[in-house]
Amino acid sequence: MRNHTFPENFLWGGATAANQIEGGFYEGNKGLNIADVLPGGKERLSILQSPGFNFEVDSEKYYYPNHEAIDFYHRYKEDIALFAEMGFKVFRMSIAWTRIFPKGTELEANEEGLAFYDRVFDELHKYAIEPVVTISHYEMPLNLVKEYGGWRNREVITFFERYVLAIFNRYKNKVKYWMTFNEINSGFIMPIQGLGFSIQKESDKYQPTFQAFHHQFVASSIAVKACHEIIPNAKIGNMILYAPVYAYDSDPENVMYALQEERIFNYFCADMQVRGEYPAYIKRYFKEHGIELEIEDADLDLIKEGTVDFIGFSYYMSRTEKMDKSDSTNSEGNLIGGVKNPYLQASDWGWEIDPVGLRISLNQLYDRYQIPLFVVENGLGAYDKVEADGSINDDYRIDFLKNHIQAMAEGLKDGVELMGYTSWGCIDLVSASSGQFSKRYGFIYVDKHDDGSGTLERKKKKSFFWYQNVIKSNGEKL
Is-contact 49 202, C-beta < 8 A? Answer: no
Closest to 149 (Cα-Cα) out of 183, 100, 104, 179: 104
288 part of the active site: no
C-alpha–C-alpha distance, residues 458 and 447, integer Å? 7
Nearest distance in Å: CB 243, ligand BG6: 10
Nearer to ligand BG6, 278 or 316 (CB): 316
Of 136 and 221, the one with the shorter C-beta distance to ligand BG6 is 136
Q: Which is nearer to ligand BG6, 211 or 220 (CB)?
A: 220
The nearer residue to ligand BG6, 409 or 432, going by C-beta atoms, is 432
Q: Is 2 helix (H, G, I), strand (E, B) or coil?
A: coil
In whole angstroms, the minimum distance from the beta carbon of 435 to ligand BG6 comes to 9
Number of CB atoms found within 10 A of residue 292's CB:
10
Identify which of 87, 58, 62, 66 has the alpha carbon closest to the alpha carbon of residue 465: 87
* Alpha-helix residue ranges (DSSP H) falling in 323-420: 355-369, 395-413
Minimum Å gap between C-beta 317 and ligand BG6 is 10
Task: Give least dist CB 183 to ligand BG6, A.
Answer: 5
Q: Give me the catalytic one of 108, 229, 377, 417.
A: 377
Alpha-carbon span 315 to 424, nearest angstrom: 10
Taking the least distance from each CB to ligand BG6, the nearer of 403 and 433 is: 433
Burial class (CB in 10 A: 0-12, 13-18, 19+), 332: exposed
Instruction: Please identify the residue of the shown chain whose CB is closest to the bound ligand BG6.
Output: 433
**Smallest distance, ligand BG6 to C-beta of residue 105, A:** 25
Instruction: Name the site residues for ligand BG6 (rule: CB under 6 A).
Output: 17, 20, 138, 182-183, 241, 314, 377, 381, 424, 431-434, 439
Query: How far does CA 402 lie from the centroid of its chain?
Result: 21
CB 103, min distance to ligand BG6, A: 23
Question: CA–CA separation, 95 vs 388, rounded Å?
Answer: 38
Nearer to ligand BG6, 240 or 303 (CB): 240
- DSSP run (H or E) holding 74: helix 72-86
Distance CA 67, CA 63 (A): 9
CB of residue 376 to ligand BG6, shortest distance in Å: 9
Whichever of 423 and 431 has its CB closer to ligand BG6, that residue is 431
Beta strand pairing status for 418-424 and 11-15?
A: parallel
Please state, in angstroms and rounded to a whole number, the distance separating the CA atoms of residues 369 and 363.
10
Of residues 41 and 279, the one with the C-beta less far from ligand BG6:
41
Residue 302 Cβ vs ligand BG6, minimum distance, rounded to whole Å: 26
User: What does 408-476 look like in DSSP terms, one character per residue?
Assistant: HHHHHHTT--EEEEEEETSB----TTT--SSSB--SEEE---TTS-S---EEE-HHHHHHHHHHHTTTS
**Which helix H or strand E contains 206, and what residues bound it?**
helix 206-230
Q: What is the largest CA-CA distance in the chain?
A: 66
Residues labelled catalytic: 377
